[in-house]
Amino acid sequence: MDLGAITKYSALHAKPNGLILQYGTAGFRTKAEHLDHVMFRMGLLAVLRSKQTKSTIGVMVTASHNPEEDNGVKLVDPLGEMLAPSWEEHATCLANAEEQDMQRVLIDISEKEAVNLQQDAFVVIGRDTRPSSEKLSQSVIDGVTVLGGQFHDYGLLTTPQLHYMVYCRNTGGRYGKATIEGYYQKLSKAFVELTKQASCSGDEYRSLKVDCANGIGALKLREMEHYFSQGLSVQLFNDGSKGKLNHLCGADFVKSHQKPPQGTV
């Protein structure tokens, strides 16, 4: 571990004074402008977790249902599951460490978890369509590379897609191909098979209306459309062509206001 290089790079992703964040079920989430240091440090942590598990680890840059001004980050464990609770504690500790304590915290995590620092590490990265996500994703990459990790940046992905990529890579392709095409093929095939079992009144033509909340879902569902059989018509609402992410639309809006998303009725 090149502590000098880490200190040098960390200064380029400096932590704002007094900022304290907690890693929870949804990872870290707050205003995007407060997250640069967190992204860099989660890149570091992902490398340590990858070395410890001898597996590919995922880092997803997203704040899901939060307003467009927010962003966040979560790590994905080897089988596509959420980060182990003990490592959530490490994430919180590392994110909140002052600059002068960074080296000590990294060494503490490595020693406590018996991380073999000579072990290779591989991290896959995805991000949503928020204006801040591309730059924050680059901060993750900075953290991965300064600790000697290899990475693949998938660019724009939904969160479930990144979970899928991690699982595929760690099962040698037995679960599926770790590509966006592999994801579409696997899910569309399962969906078509499932709908064959469902009774349908009238003709066999089905239509599906989807609120995409002006986010990543619109891009990916549009890509996936042609994988479905001709018997399904998909109509996208709030597809990002106008309107802000999660504004008057999306799952949280429906839950909180108990009414349909804007533009769907």
- DSSP annotation of 171 reads T
Question: What are 160's two structure tokens?
Answer: 């479930």
Other CB atoms closer than 10 Å to residue 32's CB: what's the count?
21
Q: Which amino acid does the sequence have at 223? A: E
Other CB atoms closer than 10 Å to residue 259's CB: what's the count?
10
For residue 42, what are the CA distances in angstroms to 142, 167, 193? 10, 19, 39
- The one catalytic residue in 10, 50, 64, 133 is 64
* Residue 64 annotated in active site: yes
Nearby residues of 131 by Cβ (< 8 Å), 6 or more positions away: 32, 68
Helix (H) or strand (E) holding 236: strand 232-237
CA dihedral 215, 216, 219, 225 (to 10 degrees): -110
Question: What are 103's two structure tokens?
Answer: 């080296």
**Closest alpha carbon to 127 in 151, 150, 149, 158:** 158
- The answer to whether residues 42 and 8 touch, using CB atoms and an 8 Å cutoff, is no
- The answer to whether residues 188 and 228 touch, using CB atoms and an 8 Å cutoff, is yes
| Calpha distance 162→179 (Å, rounded) | 10
Catalytic residue numbers, as ranges: 64
